[in-house]
């Protein structure tokens, strides 16, 4: 039979997600993932609540320590199966492998199967391997997980059966013990984004050979010099994928709470990399392509200059101040008669633009080398398939120095999610530019997660495109007044003479990406920010009455300024 796993309530999923700092992804209906419980020891029903055997040692020896229903033991997969529930509907099956059973599955997981000689129901056969090969070739996802073993004879795990399956794809589990490893994840890894590593328990390594029609990719290798070799491999065959992983404990409940290294999110992203590609899986960077990139940015600041220190600071050449006197909405609400000059509402506007060239260099699965060109120099970077731009060199051009952060952090949508379908939403870390009262092209940037959505098809100037929307939100809790102005003027606007009361920003970016070339076509970004603060040049006033309650009050003057920013970029392929 196939037994449905009881799912967490949506509220508890969100609670766990907040604890683990893992983002929930929305999108299409989840794929059906069958979690095998047939190739294990048969167990009496009702004696293993929460994964804990209710009985003697013999009953305990029948436990399935990796079950999705085991939430009270460290190796149970209760947490991860729920953290991936938006993409994989995990169901426990107690049926042997068959073509009929797999008609009901999009993905199938064999987790440390037990040999018949050690109490398992059955060993995996060559026929099972043939059926799973067919399943993968037509588009299925297969996940094979083993654990450490000294040798085949003493191990209870069915290594022989697993390797019968692996032989169809050119991958074999080896009988070794790696010891517990920390697997670092480099920033340019094509399967991961915004995570630094995961824990690999004392598992086994993998041997990778060639197999006709199969492309094998090593995800991770052992860093133990005594047991070198791959520990995680993905095979592509036909329309499907296979993940081989050498340690079951990596998926266990206990490690999911290692938020210090982002373990849960790393495992989640590894499993999501098995999903079928969406319409925009990666950018189409091609060696030899040159893009002409025309960028325009307008920054604004609005308020009453007579009372705001920031309006007294120097602005860039070409800044225009537009004034219309006191706003009617403010005049109607004012109880004091003031002069026109002292209550002049103004908006300062700075407009700057430049055209760069982006030349795409040699590349591989980890990305392409790329060079940004301006009139007087260059900046070297690396372009990842996801759109991330990493490893920028120090530009040798003053214009590139000014625009560097925008070129690296804003102009190109990143990260793409390879599996994203129309309507997909995801959250990923990045950098957000703070407003700047002096309209610097090099403002302070704050690391923060942003929300993304693959909106769908949307043409731009006759080019068929896919549109991505990105939203970033920040409050002022981590801002300092001096973050908003140039360093040399920080004495005029700092914590001593300014105290922020509240504020924040909201930035919306839209990215049009060609459906034909998968290259960027157009970018539009809009930011709105407001800050409230107090200034000692407007000291608080004591207002009191003397009666039987002896009221005592302070009246404070709060100042406010609003910022706006728009940035647009057009990309054109140079012939």
Summarised one tens digit per residue, pLDDT across range 134-178 is 999 999 999 999 998 877 777 899 999 999 999 999 999 999 999
Confidence of residue 2 (pLDDT cuts 50, 70, 90): very low
**CA quadruple 174, 176, 180, 182: dihedral, nearest 10:** -40
Confidence of residue 14 (pLDDT cuts 50, 70, 90): very low
DSSP letter assigned to residue 460? B
Contact between residue 247 and residue 231 where contact means Cβ atoms under 8 Å apart: yes
- Structure-token pair, residue 112: 């440390």
CA distances from 28 to 107, 241, 403, 425 (A): 16, 19, 38, 10
pLDDT of residue 149: 80
**CA-wise closest residue to 2 among 46, 31, 33, 28:** 33
CA distances from 488 to 328, 358, 443 (A): 37, 33, 14
**CA-wise closest residue to 141 among 68, 219, 87, 85:** 87
Per-residue burial over 515-541, b if 16 or more Cβ lie within 10 Å, else e, is: beebbbbbbebebebbbebbbeeeeee
User: Using CA atoms, how far apart are residues 459 and 303, in angstroms rounded to an integer?
Assistant: 38
Summarize the confidence of residues 345-374 as an average pLDDT. 95
**CA-wise closest residue to 405 among 372, 366, 377:** 372
- Structure-token pair, residue 319: 């800044």
pLDDT of residue 321: 92
pLDDT of residue 328: 57
**CA-wise closest residue to 386 among 195, 232, 206, 247:** 195
pLDDT of residue 239: 96
User: Using CA atoms, how far apart are residues 571 and 383, in angstroms rounded to an integer?
Assistant: 15
Contact between residue 156 and residue 118 where contact means Cβ atoms under 8 Å apart: yes
Residues with Cβ < 8 Å from 112, sequence gap 6 or more? 66, 145, 146, 147, 157, 248
Q: DSSP 3-state assignment of 16?
A: helix
- Structure-token pair, residue 11: 């509220």
Give the β-pairing of 171-173 and 181-184. Answer: unpaired
**CA quadruple 239, 244, 249, 255: dihedral, nearest 10:** -50
**CA quadruple 157, 161, 164, 168: dihedral, nearest 10:** -80
Summarize the confidence of residues 351-355 as an average pLDDT. 98
pLDDT of residue 520: 98
Summarize the confidence of residues 345-352 as an average pLDDT. 94
User: Using CA atoms, how far apart are residues 538 and 75, in angstroms rounded to an integer?
Assistant: 62
- Model confidence pLDDT, tens digit, residues 384-419: 999 999 999 999 999 999 999 999 999 999 999 999
**CA-wise closest residue to 140 among 91, 110, 103, 191:** 103
User: Using CA atoms, how far apart are residues 185 and 198, in angstroms rounded to an integer?
Assistant: 8
**CA-wise closest residue to 76 among 66, 86, 85, 62:** 66
User: Using CA atoms, how far apart are residues 349 and 411, in angstroms rounded to an integer?
Assistant: 22
- Model confidence pLDDT, tens digit, residues 45-76: 888 889 888 888 888 888 888 999 999 999 99
Q: What is the distance, to the nearest Å, from the Cα of residue 336 to the centroid of all Cα atoms in its chain?
A: 52
- pTM over 0.85? The answer is yes
User: Using CA atoms, how far apart are residues 240 and 213, in angstroms rounded to an integer?
Assistant: 12
Of the two residues 245 and 559, the one the predictor is more confident about is 245
Average pLDDT across the chain, whole number: 89
Summarize the confidence of residues 229-251 as an average pLDDT. 97
pLDDT of residue 465: 98
**Terminal-residue alpha carbon distance, the chain:** 61
Confidence of residue 550 (pLDDT cuts 50, 70, 90): low
pLDDT of residue 159: 96
pLDDT of residue 498: 84
Q: What is the distance, to the nearest Å, from the Cα of residue 20 to the centroid of all Cα atoms in its chain?
A: 14
Residues with Cβ < 8 Å from 220, sequence gap 6 or more? 183, 200, 230, 231, 232
- Model confidence pLDDT, tens digit, residues 456-477: 999 999 999 999 999 999 999 8
Q: What is the DSSP string of 66-97?
A: T-TT--SSTT--HHHHHHTTTTEEEEEE-S--
Is the confidence at residue 365, as pLDDT, over 90?
A: no
Peptide bond into 50 cis (omega under 30): no
Summarize the confidence of residues 247-258 as an average pLDDT. 96
pLDDT of residue 343: 67
Is the confidence at residue 341, as pLDDT, over 60?
A: no
Give the β-pairing of 552-555 and 197-200. Answer: unpaired
User: Using CA atoms, how far apart are residues 475 and 468, in angstroms rounded to an integer?
Assistant: 24
Confidence of residue 543 (pLDDT cuts 50, 70, 90): low
Q: DSSP 3-state assignment of 17?
A: helix
Is the confidence at residue 336, as pLDDT, over 50?
A: no
Q: Counting beta carbons within 10 angstroms of the beta carbon of residue 549, is it exposed (0 to 12), middle (13 to 18) or buried (19 or more)?
A: exposed
**CA-wise closest residue to 471 among 515, 506, 431, 420:** 506
User: Using CA atoms, how far apart are residues 148 and 157, in angstroms rounded to an integer?
Assistant: 9
pLDDT of residue 129: 98
Is the confidence at residue 19, as pLDDT, over 50?
A: no
Summarize the confidence of residues 547-574 as an average pLDDT. 83
Q: Where is mean pLDDT largest: 228-237, 492-501, 528-537? A: 228-237
Q: What is the distance, to the nearest Å, from the Cα of residue 36 to the centroid of all Cα atoms in its chain?
A: 30
Summarize the confidence of residues 445-456 as an average pLDDT. 97
Q: Which uninterrupted H or E stretch holds 10?
A: helix 10-20
Contact between residue 425 and residue 398 where contact means Cβ atoms under 8 Å apart: no
Confidence of residue 333 (pLDDT cuts 50, 70, 90): very low
Q: What is the distance, to the nearest Å, from the Cα of residue 110 to the centroid of all Cα atoms in its chain?
A: 28
How many percent of the chain have pLDDT more than 70? 89
Residues with Cβ < 8 Å from 36, sequence gap 6 or more? 93, 108, 109, 110, 111, 113
Residues with Cβ < 8 Å from 13, sequence gap 6 or more? 24, 82, 83, 85
Q: Within a 13 Å sphere around the CA of 535, how many CA atoms are in the beta-carbon half?
A: 16
Q: What is the largest CA-CA distance in the chain?
A: 96
- Model confidence pLDDT, tens digit, residues 465-510: 999 999 999 999 889 998 999 999 988 888 888 888 899 999 999 9
Per-residue burial over 364-400, b if 16 or more Cβ lie within 10 Å, else e, is: eeebbbbebbbeeebbebbbbbbbbbeebeebebebb
pLDDT of residue 545: 63
Confidence of residue 108 (pLDDT cuts 50, 70, 90): very high
What is the Rg, in whole angstroms, of the alpha carbon atoms belonging to the chain? 30
């Amino acid at each position: 039979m196939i037994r449905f796993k009881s799912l967490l309530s949506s509220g508890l999923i969100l609670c766990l997600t907040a604890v683990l700092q893992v983002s929930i992804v929305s999108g299409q209906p989840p794929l059906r993932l069958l979690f095998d419980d047939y190739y294990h020891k048969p167990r009496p029903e009702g004696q293993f609540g929460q994964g804990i055997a209710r009985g003697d040692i013999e009953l305990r020896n029948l436990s399935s320590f990796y079950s999705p229903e085991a939430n009270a033991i460290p190796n149970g997969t209760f947490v991860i199966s729920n953290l991936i529930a938006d993409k994989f509907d995990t169901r426990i099956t107690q049926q042997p492998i068959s073509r009929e059973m797999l008609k009901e599955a999009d993905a199938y997981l064999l987790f440390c199967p037990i040999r018949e000689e050690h109490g398992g129901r059955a060993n995996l056969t060559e026929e099972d391997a043939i059926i799973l090969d067919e399943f993968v070739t037509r588009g299925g996802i297969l996940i094979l997980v083993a654990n450490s073993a000294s040798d085949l004879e003493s191990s209870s795990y069915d290594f022989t059966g697993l390797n019968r399956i692996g032989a169809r794809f050119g991958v074999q589990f080896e009988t070794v013990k790696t010891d517990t490893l920390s697997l670092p994840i480099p920033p340019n890894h094509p399967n991961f984004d915004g995570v630094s590593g995961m824990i690999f328990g004392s598992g086994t390594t993998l041997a990778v050979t060639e197999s006709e029609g199969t492309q094998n990719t090593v995800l991770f290798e052992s860093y133990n010099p005594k047991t070198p070799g791959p520990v995680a491999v993905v095979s592509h065959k036909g329309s499907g994928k296979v993940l081989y992983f050498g340690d079951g404990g990596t998926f266990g409940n206990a490690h999911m709470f290692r938020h210090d290294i982002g373990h849960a999110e790393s495992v989640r992203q590894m499993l999501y990399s098995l999903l079928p590609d969406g319409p925009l899986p990666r950018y189409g960077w091609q060696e030899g392509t040159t893009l002409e990139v025309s960028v325009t940015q307008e920054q604004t600041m609005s308020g009453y200059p007579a009372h705001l220190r920031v309006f007294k600071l120097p602005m860039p050449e070409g800044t225009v101040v537009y004034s219309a006197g006191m706003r009617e909405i403010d005049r109607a609400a004012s109880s004091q008669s003031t002069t026109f000059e002292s209550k002049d509402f103004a908006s300062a506007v700075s407009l700057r633009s430049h055209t760069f060239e982006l030349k795409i260099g040699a590349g591989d699965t980890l990305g392409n080398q790329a060079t940004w060109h301006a009139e007087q120099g260059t900046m070297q970077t690396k372009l990842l398939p996801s759109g991330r731009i990493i490893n920028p060199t120090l530009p040798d051009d003053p214009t590139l120095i000014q625009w560097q952060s925008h070129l690296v952090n804003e102009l190109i949508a990143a990260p793409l999610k390879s599996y994203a379908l129309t309507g997909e939403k995801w959250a990923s870390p990045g950098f957000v530019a703070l407003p700047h009262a002096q309209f610097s092209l090099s403002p302070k940037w704050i690391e923060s997660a942003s929300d993304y959505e693959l909106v769908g098809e949307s043409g731009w100037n006759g080019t068929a495109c896919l549109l991505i929307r990105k939203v970033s939100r920040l409050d002022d809790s981590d801002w300092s007044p001096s973050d908003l102005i140039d360093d040399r003027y920080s004495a005029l606007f700092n914590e001593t003479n300014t105290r922020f009361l509240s504020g924040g920003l909201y930035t919306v970016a839209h990215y049009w990406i060609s459906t034909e070339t998968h290259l960027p076509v157009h970018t539009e970004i809009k930011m709105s920010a407001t800050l409230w603060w107090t200034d000692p040049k407007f000291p608080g006033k004591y207002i009191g009455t003397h009666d039987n309650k002896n009221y005592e009050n302070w009246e404070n003057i709060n100042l406010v300024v609003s910022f706006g920013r728009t940035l647009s970029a057009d990309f054109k392929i140079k012939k």
